[in-house]
């Protein structure tokens, strides 16, 4: 397994991974919308984990000069538990640190069992109200 910066040749694998791991996501989060948007802003912070040529994991990071964010952390269900998610998170954190980022945030939908995974990596629930607006 290796982690690479996203290339166009990864699209089909990434799209399939996201459809498998995020089946209930709204259409605006699908690869055909999210990937072009990410490639327009900090494309170097979109990473995939590959085994051979197969995309088995992904992570998007962003940094606005104040805080870093992690998005679309996904690992193929058949490969979960192998340390791929941890490697992706650590890779993205290192890329953010290189940009001067001192704090990383992420959001997990209520009831998502991935909360335990993030807690093992040192993330903690913070007393915040998350607000959003689709525009």
Residue 130 lies in a domain: no
Measured in whole angstroms, the distance separating CA 63 from the mean position of its chain's CA atoms is 13
Residue 9 lies in a domain: yes
pTM of the predicted model, to two decimals?
Answer: 0.91
Yes or no: say if 2 and 50 are a contact pair by the CB < 8 Å rule: yes
pLDDT reported for residue 11? 98
pLDDT reported for residue 106? 92
pLDDT reported for residue 110? 82
Residue 127 lies in a domain: no
DSSP structural state of residue 37: H
pLDDT, the chain, mean: 94
CATH number at residue 67: 3.40.630.30
Query: In Å, how far are 72, 90, 121 from 117, measured between CA atoms?
Result: 14, 13, 7
Containing structural domain, residue 47: 2-120
Q: Provide the greatest CA pair distance for the chain.
A: 41
Distance CA 127, CA 39 (A): 32
Assign 76 a pLDDT band (cuts: 50, 70, 90).
Answer: very high
15-58 pLDDT, tens digit each: 999 999 999 889 999 999 999 999 999 999 999 999 999 999 99
Taking residue 123's Cβ as centre, other Cβ atoms within 10 Å add up to: 16
pLDDT reported for residue 126? 86
DSSP structural state of residue 43: G
Domain count across the chain? 1
């Amino acid at each position: 397994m290796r982690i690479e910066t996203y290339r166009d040749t990864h699209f089909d694998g990434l799209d399939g991974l996201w459809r498998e791991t995020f089946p209930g996501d709204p259409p605006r989060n699908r690869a055909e919308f999210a990937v072009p948007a990410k490639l327009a802003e900090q494309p170097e912070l979109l990473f995939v984990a590959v085994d051979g040529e197969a995309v088995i994991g992904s992570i998007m990071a962003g940094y606005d000069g104040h805080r870093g964010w992690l998005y679309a952390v996904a690992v193929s269900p058949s490969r979960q538990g192998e340390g791929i998610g941890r490697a992706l998170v650590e890779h993205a954190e290192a890329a953010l640190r290189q940009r001067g980022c001192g704090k990383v945030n992420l959001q997990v939908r209520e009831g998502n069992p991935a909360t335990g995974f993030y807690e093992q990596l040192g993330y903690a629930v913070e007393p915040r109200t998350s607000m959003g607006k689709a525009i």
